[in-house]
């Protein structure tokens, strides 16, 4: 299960205890504090702490904070200007600390984003739980013949059942051996830091991940994209929903200019100009490679 009874009791206690504060508060984010949002079969994302809101972004951009000289429309317009022109430092004034439970192979993708502070559950000191990510049948797909990093057709029938059986059986066998190696029943038992190397990449780990909004949005732009691996994309989607409540103006601008927008090369932009003039532009006369043309057409559609 995503949360133990002890964790649920701790969260319940934290959510019923409030402290007066003079700092800026985002009402949307307050609703998410400590609450666990389930992801995959045993994973979750929950907000531990945060700093700043939409106003903090504007405050940093203006340097001096003249509250009487601004309006909601001005704030939203300023944030859209900052996003549109790739100004990053005002967004760095907001930070969030997340508690994430995720499969190890997802964590190894996630940690490639090296612009955060991370503290992970240590299998050197503690014993990992018998919890593994086992995909739903519709998430089992063959290797893509077009994209070496992607998936193709969904596996069907006996082939899908065979793969699921392998995943479950191998995970359980590996954990049985892990438990046997660290057991001290009548013997010393293997050190935990060595026994953990036998565990599969679909076992769950946990970490605290603290990041500023600028780098978080960069993470979401890549990982909430339709081409991202499903298992990390669902975490990004859950975080997107949290960010939308935390900094609604910033998130709307992010949706428009990053998630829903496209960056065109000079060659691609010239192709658009030629199309607008009524010219027939093809991959052969566009000056783009087959891959560039495919991505260009996908952006236009």
At 77-110, the pLDDT tens digits run 999 999 999 999 999 999 999 999 999 999 999 9
Region 155-166 average pLDDT? 90
Non-local (6+) Cβ contacts of 186 within 8 A are none
Residue 12 clears pLDDT 90, i.e. is over it: no
Q: Where is pLDDT greater, at 148 or 68?
A: 148
Q: Which residue has the higher pLDDT, 104 or 188?
A: 104
From the number of C-beta atoms within 10 Å of its C-beta (0-12, 13-18, 19+), residue 32 rates as buried
Counting runs of H as helices and runs of E as strands, what totals does the chain give? 13, 7
Rg of the chain taking only CA atoms, in angstroms: 24
Q: Which whole number is the average pLDDT over 26-48?
A: 95
- Residues near 17 by beta carbon (within 8 Å), at least 6 away in sequence: none
Q: How confident is the model at residue 47 (pLDDT cuts 50, 70, 90)?
A: very high
For residues 83 and 250, the answer to whether their CB atoms sit within 8 Å is yes
| Rounded Cα–Cα distance for residues 252 and 79 (Å) | 10
CB atoms within 10 A of CB 243: 21
pLDDT number for residue 129: 93
Please check whether residue 239 is in contact with residue 218, taking contact to mean a CB–CB distance below 8 angstroms: no
pLDDT at position 205, please?
96
Output the pLDDT for position 4. Answer: 78
pLDDT at 294 over 80: yes
pLDDT at 179: 93
pLDDT tens sequence across 107-123 = 999 999 999 999 999 99
The conformation of residue 33, written as its DSSP 8-state character, comes to B
Question: What DSSP designation does 148 have?
Answer: T
Distances, alpha carbon 38 to alpha carbons 45, 49, 164, 267, in Å: 7, 18, 22, 43
Q: What region, left, alpha or beta, does residue 86 occupy, with left being phi > 0 and alpha being psi -120 to 50 degrees?
A: left
The answer to whether 101 and 204 have CB atoms below 8 angstroms apart is: yes
When pLDDT is cut at 50, 70 and 90, the band that residue 255 belongs to is very high
Please tell me the predicted confidence (pLDDT) of residue 14: 77
Q: According to the model, what pLDDT value does residue 17 have?
A: 78
Task: Determine the 3-state secondary structure of 38 from DSSP.
Answer: strand
pLDDT of res. 70? 58
Q: What is the mean pLDDT of residues 5-28?
A: 82
pLDDT(186) > 80:
no
- Clarify whether 223 is annotated catalytic: yes
57 pLDDT higher than 60: yes
More confident residue, 146 or 24: 24
Q: What crossing angle do the helices spanning 54-62 and 72-84 adopt, rounded to 10°?
A: 70
- The phi, psi pair for 29, rounded to 5°, reads -75, -35
State how far the Cα of 220 lies from the Cα of 29, in Å rounded to an integer: 17
Instruction: Tell me which DSSP letter residue 155 carries.
Output: P
Active-site entry in 15, 23, 84, 223: 223
pLDDT tens for residues 126-147?
Answer: 999 999 999 998 888 877 676 6
| Coil, strand or helix at 9 | helix
SS3 of 20, please? coil
Average pLDDT, the chain: 90
């Amino acid at each position: 299960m995503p949360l133990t009874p002890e964790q649920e009791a701790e969260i319940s206690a934290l959510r019923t205890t409030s402290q007066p504060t003079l700092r800026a508060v985002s009402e949307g984010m307050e609703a998410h504090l400590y609450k666990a949002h389930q992801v995959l079969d045993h994973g979750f994302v929950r907000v531990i702490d945060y700093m700043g809101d939409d106003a903090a972004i504007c405050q940093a951009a203006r340097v001096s904070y003249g509250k009487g000289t601004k309006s909601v429309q001005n704030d939203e317009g300023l944030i859209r200007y900052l996003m549109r022109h790739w100004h990053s430092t005002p967004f760095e004034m907001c930070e969030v600390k997340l508690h994430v439970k995720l499969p190890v192979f997802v964590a190894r993708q996630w940690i490639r984003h090296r612009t955060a502070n991370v503290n992970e559950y240590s299998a050197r000191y503690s014993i990992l739980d018998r919890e593994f990510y086992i995909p739903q049948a519709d998430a089992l797909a063959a290797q893509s013949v077009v994209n070496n990093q992607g998936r193709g057709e969904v596996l069907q029938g006996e082939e899908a059942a065979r793969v699921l059986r392998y995943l479950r059986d191998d995970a359980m066998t590996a954990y049985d051996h892990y438990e046997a190696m660290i057991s001290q029943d009548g013997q010393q038992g293997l050190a935990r830091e060595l026994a953990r190397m036998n565990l599969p990449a679909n076992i769950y780990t946990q970490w605290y991940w603290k990041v500023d909004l600028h780098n978080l949005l960069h993470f979401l732009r890549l990982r909430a994209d339709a081409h991202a691996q499903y298992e990390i994309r669902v975490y990004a989607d859950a975080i997107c929903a949290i960010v939308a409540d935390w900094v609604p103006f910033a998130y709307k601008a992010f949706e428009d200019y990053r998630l829903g927008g496209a960056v065109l090369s000079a060659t691609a932009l010239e192709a658009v100009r030629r199309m607008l003039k009524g010219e027939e532009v093809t991959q052969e006369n566009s000056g783009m490679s087959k891959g560039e043309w495919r991505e260009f057409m996908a952006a236009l559609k």
